[in-house]
Chain A
Amino acid sequence: MIQMRELRKDFTVRVKAGRLRREKRTVSAVDGIDLTIEPGEMVGYIGPNGAGKSTTLKMLTGVLSPSSGEVSVFGLTPVPQRTRLALRIGVVFGQRSQLWWDLPLGESFRLLRHIYRVPAAEHEARLRRCRGLLDLDAFLDTPVRQLSLGQRMRGELTAALLHGPRVLFLDEPTIGLDVVSKQAVRSFLAELGASGDVTLVLTTHDLADIERLCDRLVVIDHGRVVHDGTIEALHARYGSRRSLVVELDEPLPPGFTLPGASVTGVEADGHRVTFALDGSSSGAAVAALVAVASVRDLSVVEPDIEDVVARLYQAG
């Protein structure tokens, strides 16, 4: 569905060198990316600021020519076959609007129907669904320039989907949204992905989007892929483990060990202890613990993706 081979993009920038002299310098925004994305995959494409995510998405959607390497989407080469590709992909660049600033949202949608030549019935069905799931009805008649950021983003998503694209490129679609809007957008995308015939490439700085939506995580840094796999694989690679936090009536006896777990923290004079679980089920550890100590409260904490990703970014 999507293929990138040795994909690179270099920007030439002029930097000040001395009073009048300006030097040309080359920035490798994307520095040799190899990726294959299969139909139906939901891929989280993340990386620190300036990693080259937006640049990659621009090349995939045909608005920026690669410096070298190959890229194909649906077997089409994005830049030369841009107009054909445009009929089959849906794109949202979170920071810019693809709607018509002066037109009411509903009218923008009608115009898009004609631009993409979508049959009226299909258009109606898709629009009805988006209106329901994204709660658009309250502002369909409002000019786009008067919409709030969150309202506009919901409009942008709808606009990207009205022609029924099979591949979606979303660059920070949840940027600036409140909790409720974020959840609406996420569950909307999740439902879209659940059908299995939409391929999604999603860029975001909100890792909860990824956890909720993506089964594959591609992390890039300085224009190169530094991780490609599931979220679990990332945790395994960095040895992040689930932990068990227990509150005790009495501190544990000295020298106490729990099979399959190790103590990583002791707080409140030994009344709160944190164990890291080495793969063993939390049930076994809890059973072993209540056998020897009186447990007031306990919780199992999943490994924090933010921590892992932060470690990954810092390593780069």
Chain B
Amino acid sequence: MDRIGASVLTISPGRPFRASLTTFGALVWSGFRRYATYRQATIAGSFTNIVFGFLRCYVLLAVAAGAVGNRPAGYDVEQLATYVWVGQGLLAVTGMWGWAELADRIRTGDIASDLLRPVPPVVSYLAADLGRALHGVLTRFLGPVLVGLLFFPLVTPQRWQTVPLFVLSVLLAVVGCFGCRFLINATAYWLQDARGPQMLWTLGSGVLAGLYFPLRLLPEWLTVTLWVATPLPGLLQTPLDVLVERDPPALQAGLVALQAIWAVLLIWLATVVQRRAERKLVVQGG
């Protein structure tokens, strides 16, 4: 029988990239599995999203009925309904709210376990979050979209590139949203408790990502500023605008590119913040 400690560790040196990919894939899968255990929470969450979907949809349609030419901010009725219902589905995919895992682990000192692994925390949390998002697509996304289809007229995309661009845009929204949430949670490294920043995030993100109303309703100068200067419209409004074909193809591609820039920037920022934090980190608890 071989001894446990006896064999030297082998780290498949020939194919570091493939090995990294396998590790990343395993971490994504673990994120998926972790959410798959909570079926009741998934059902309850879907139900809530559907109820709020009806509320939002009726309100927006009422606004549309009163607007000039029935097109508030350039959306027709079908586009608005799609905006609402797909948005309700996406909410759980990007996981905008309610993620405090990192902050909790910093506060209790459990972050030590993450640091004891040979994978940088930003990478392992990102992978797990992609797994969570995948679980969200398969469970939480479909419910609201189906209900929307059943009760309202929804848009069918006309251009061939819309669906692939939408998929890419959703992926970038997930990554960008993760970056934002990681940074909010990481304030716990300095504050011990991230509840203040979390609250601010919950209040701000809903409005500025275009959840409560499409940001196009705002004056143009403000919309443009929000889009360029903050990552928030990229977390919800951009994928939805892409899907309902609100803009000409070139502008849509530009908006997705902007999302990509923000996603890269946010992940880079998260890495920098994490590295800073590790230098001064005090792991709590004996």
Contact = CB atoms under 8 A, between A and B. Distances in A.
Interface stretch (B23-31, B206-214, B233-241, B258-266): B23-31
Interface residues of A, number: 48
B189 to A, nearest CB: 13
Contact of A62 (B9, B23, B33, B115): B115
Interface string A49-93: 000001000100111110000000000000100111011100101
Interface in A96-132: 96-98, 100, 102-103, 107, 110-111, 114-119, 122, 125-126, 129-130
Nearest to B115: A63
Interface in B1-55: 1-12, 19, 22-23, 25-27, 29-30, 33-34, 37-38
A98 B114 CA distance: 8
B5 A116 contact: no
B113 A116 contact: no
Contacts of B5: 161, 164-166, 192, 195, 197-198
A26 interface: no
Contacts of B25: 114
Contacts of A65: 279-281
B119 interface: yes
Interface string A155-168: 00000010111100
Contacts of B10: 118-119, 122
A93 B26 contact: no
Given A86-B116, A102-B37, A114-B23, A197 B286 contact: no
A195 B37 contact: no
A54 B9 contact: no
A166 B4 CA distance: 10
Interface in B88-115: 108-110, 112-113, 115
Interface residues of B, number: 44
A129 B115 contact: no
A84 B33 CA distance: 28
A247 B72 CA distance: 102
A238 interface: no
A100 B36 CA distance: 14
A189 B282 CA distance: 30
B219 interface: no
Contacts of B8: 164
Nearest to A200: B5
12 contacts: A64-B281, A64-B283, A86-B115, A93-B113, A96-B109, A97-B113, A110-B26, A117-B22, A126-B4, A129-B1, A164-B8, A192-B4
Given A64-B281, A115-B23, A198-B5, 4 more contacts: A64-B282, A83-B119, A96-B110, A102-B38
Interface of B: 1-12, 19, 22-23, 25-27, 29-30, 33-34, 37-38, 108-110, 112-113, 115-120, 124, 278-283, 285-286
